[in-house]
Amino acid sequence: MSATLDTEKADVLTGLLRREGGRYTTRRTIHKDLLPAYGGKKVITKALGTSDPAEAKRRHVALWAALDREFAEVRAAMAAAAAKAPTVEAKAAAKPIDIDAYAARALVGLRKKRAEYLAAGRLEDFNLEAREGLETYQAILNGGDDLGLSLPEAEGMRAATLAILTGEGAAALAAAPAVKPTASGGPRVPLADVLDRWKAERT
């Protein structure tokens, strides 16, 4: 094996790539723990803007060091955010509510919204948004972004949305007393806000 080939192989292993045409690029894998901060992107690739091997190596080393600093800053920011975020248990305990009653209230709101869409000839749009909402609530229950909802609220919205789409559980929810806001600071049903939030998440 030639010395030149050995050098090129070593450069590939360190992330310095020589592209067709002779110009160089840095390619670096994002650490697994940082993937959420990069939207699931697994690799950073940046053109070095030169075909000179010595200059490419200099720029590559500088970029590699800059990425080291960036990764450290992102990791620190993620750790700080995680420290501030409430635990799953805290979310569940934050608003002790009757899930069936919450779902009953949500179902009333969804029926009203469906009637408005139907009157506007947009029933398919409502059904699409409701299905997307159902996915969102299930994702929250599976540990995803909570969109400001507690776990009981997410379960209530999931049950209501399932009822409006399939009829499943609708009779039971209709018989449940709907939760309403109270002057003493009882459970609040941010239904309009919730519907707007999950719609915005999908657009």
Instruction: Estimate to the nearest angstrom the gap between the alpha carbon of 186 and the chain centroid.
Output: 29
Give the pLDDT confidence score for residue 9 in this predicted structure. Answer: 42
Instruction: Estimate to the nearest angstrom the gap between the alpha carbon of 149 and the chain centroid.
Output: 14
Give the pLDDT confidence score for residue 51 in this predicted structure. Answer: 92
Least Cα distance to 14 among 55, 56, 52, 51 occurs for 56
β-partners of residue 46 are 26
Check: pTM over 0.75? Answer yes or no: no
Low-confidence ranges of the chain (pLDDT < 50): 1-12, 179-192, 202
**Strand order from edge to edge, sheet including 24-29:** 16-18, 24-29, 43-47
Give the pLDDT confidence score for residue 176 in this predicted structure. Answer: 52
